Amino acid sequence: MQHGDIIQFDNGMAKASQLPDLQNSEAWKRALQNKCKDHRYYEIVEETLECDFEHSYLVLEDGIGNVRAIQPVFFVRQNLVEGVPGKIRSIVDGIRKVLPRFLTMRVLMVGCAAGTGAEDTDSPGCLTARRTVY
């Protein structure tokens, strides 16, 4: 998912955004406002966990362009041989000197990179959009 990507669905769309694009918008200030971890929490998490995580936000809009929800998502690179002992691990470590991403996988997670995350809204339109996007 790249910044600016758009996913169309029947009743609207989801746009991939970055935090600087959202911070001055009213929709961002309303995002997760009824949750104990509102938009400010996600700003702090992105600022402090920047090295291993690639943060993005899906802006869910209805058919007429109204922002219905903003869903935090992130990518993390998973080491597929984490915890593997001995010879196999040393072989993989040697290969990674040449191919740093060998036996890793980029994983998309919905929510927050630190602790449990929440979905922005439970409105029927957003539930349909999330089912379509995910």
Q: Which regions in the chain score pLDDT beneath 70?
A: 1-3, 50, 115-134
Q: Per the domain annotation, does 53 fall within a domain? A: yes
C-beta neighbour count of 125 within 10 angstroms: 17
Q: Per the domain annotation, does 17 fall within a domain? A: yes
Q: Per the domain annotation, does 111 fall within a domain? A: yes
Q: Are 11 and 129 in contact (CB under 8 A)?
A: yes
Phi, psi of 90, rounded to the nearest 5 degrees: -70, -35
Q: Per the domain annotation, does 95 fall within a domain? A: no
Residue 126 carries which DSSP code?
Answer: H
Q: What is the DSSP string of 41-60?
A: HHHHHHHHSTTTEEEEEEEE
Q: Per the domain annotation, does 13 fall within a domain? A: yes
Whether the full predicted model's pTM is greater than 0.95, yes or no, is: no
**What's the confidence (pLDDT) of residue 36?**
73
Domain that holds residue 117: 6-76+106-127
Q: Per the domain annotation, does 96 fall within a domain? A: no
- Per the structure, the count of domains in the chain is 1
